[in-house]
Amino acid sequence: MTEPAEQPRTPDHLETITQALNSGMFVHVRRMLQQMRPGDVAWLLESSPSPSRKVLWQLIDPDDYGEILEELSEEVRDGIIRLMDPEKLAIALEDMESDDLAYVLRDLPEQLFTQVLDQMDEQDRQRAEQALSYPEDTAGSLMNTEFISLRPDVTIDVVLRYLRRHSELPEGTDTLYVVDQHNRLLGDMPLASLVVQAPTATVAEVMDTSVEAIPLTMTDTEVANLFERHDWLSAPVVDDNNQLLGRITIDDVVDIIREEGEHSMMGMAKMDDDEDTFAPVLTSARRRSIWLTVNLGTALVAASVSNMFEATLSQLATLAILMTIVPSMGGIAGNQTLALVIRGMAVGHIGDSNARWLLTKEALVGLINGMVWALAIAVVVSLWKGSWEIGLVIAAAMFINLSVAGIAGATIPLVMKRLNIDPALAGSMALTTITDTVGLLSFLGLATLILLH
């Protein structure tokens, strides 16, 4: 009996391989890569600066290409696919599950797409075309069509004998599905249940008929929320007639949850979530310029608001010194509400029935925040600048801006969702424009009215 092999922890892998690569020990690297799992190789590629990636890819056994491509993030995969010729790519893709196949094909440039499809054998091409026929980001595009289905009238013993005719079950199989002669889903039979049943029982007697099937057209976000809420490992996908078409497995759902998390987080920071950490410098600089352009626009909007008060500012330089405080606080308070609402929408907590309650609540939080911070800033500024009038002006502006920030932070994502705009990316930019404008207008406006009349 052998002890399980002592596996080096993967961060060590990264060190060792990077060193070997830098010393030109390519044969050694090739051997190490062969011993690694596809997921680890994918992780290594993602963790490597873009120049090392090309070298690594050439050292990988082409038989492993398919499994590794499946595991790579979109941006890194695209870079690597550009290094491959269509013929090799077609061979690599043939090993993939149908959902991953469609996922990769969908992203290919049109010319390469046609070339790759031409290189595939008939059966794989049909499988690919079938998978591509479902809209992206729906249950259809997430499902794979490799699964085992049973008829209800056979006994458990027969099922076990049938399974033993397979050398292995389709990847990620945890449940068998029970269908009638028209392939309509009747129930399911988790393996964990199968193995405790008496061999003489029939499938119909012991199957679980309460199985909840996923409609083809459900969005991937809803699918992920259902998996999470019910702790599923897999779920069957059916069409309108309850016919079983495929199954979705938890590994794909984990990817969705990870991507959604990254999308919202990177979105709050004005970044594409698929930006590759180790992309070349020029690619990175170019990708980030979109949001810097938008921000320059909003910064100029804010500047043109203060421009309206040039006369006031030239009379009282103290206002210039203080004028950034109110917009800054409004931006933070508004973004807090915005993030809360975006998260609530992502996990499906916010619907028509509670949106109004939430809006009222956030407006009240804004009012309370407004009162608290108006008082705080009034005290600080009155003491610092020795003028209770300036303290009063900044307090009033703070109250107005934080109240507006609460309402805007809750309203913007709800409205954007209705207009099918992604609030994670555009939301905080819109919000900041509002809080900057309202903050400057109210502070400089009130100052002009009260201090300079």
Residues in 402-441 that interact with a copy of itself by CB under 8 A: 428
Stretch in the footprint of a copy of itself (CB under 8 A) among 24-32, 115-123, 226-234, 411-419: 226-234
Per CB under 8 A, does 241 bind a copy of itself?
no
Per CB under 8 A, does 261 bind a copy of itself?
yes
The helix (H) or strand (E) run that includes residue 405 is helix 388-418
Among 130, 149, 202, 284, indicate the residue that binds a copy of itself (CB under 8 A).
Answer: 284
Per CB under 8 A, does 250 bind a copy of itself?
yes
- Residue 116 or 329 with smaller CB distance to a copy of itself: 329
Among 20, 154, 169, 206, indicate the residue that binds a copy of itself (CB under 8 A).
Answer: 169
- Residue 86 or 370 with smaller CB distance to a copy of itself: 370
The whole-angstrom separation of Cα 303 and Cα 297 is 10
Taking each helix axis from N to C end, the angle separating 110-119 and 86-94, rounded to the nearest 10 degrees, works out to 60
Per CB under 8 A, does 64 bind a copy of itself?
no
- Residue 9 or 123 with smaller CB distance to a copy of itself: 9
For residue 322, CA distances in Å to 187, 314, 319, 386 come to 67, 14, 5, 13
Smallest separation (angstroms) from a copy of itself to the CB of 340: 6
Stretch in the footprint of a copy of itself (CB under 8 A) among 24-32, 103-111, 273-281, 413-421: 273-281
- Residues in the interface with a copy of itself (CB under 8 A) total 146
Q: Which of 429, 435, 401, 403 is nearest to 416 (CA)?
A: 429
Query: Using CA of residue 370, residue 373, residue 378, residue 379, what is the dihedral sign?
Result: positive
The whole-angstrom separation of Cα 425 and Cα 286 is 17
Contacts (CB under 8 A) with a copy of itself, residues 122-161: 152, 160
Residue whose tokens read 């119909």: 204
Residue whose tokens read 């091409």: 125
- Residue 14 or 392 with smaller CB distance to a copy of itself: 14
Contacts (CB under 8 A) with a copy of itself, residues 288-317: 288-289, 291-292, 295-296, 298-300, 302-303, 306-307, 310-311, 313-314, 317
The whole-angstrom separation of Cα 360 and Cα 184 is 47
Contacts (CB under 8 A) with a copy of itself, residues 328-387: 328-329, 332-333, 335-336, 338-344, 347-354, 357-358, 361-362, 364-365, 368-369, 372-373, 376-377, 380
The three-point CA angle 401-368-361 to 5° equals 95
Helices (H), 316-387: 317-322, 325-346, 352-385
Per CB under 8 A, does 202 bind a copy of itself?
no
Q: In what order do the strands lie in the sheet with 175-179?
A: 149-150, 175-179, 185-190
Type of residue at 141: S
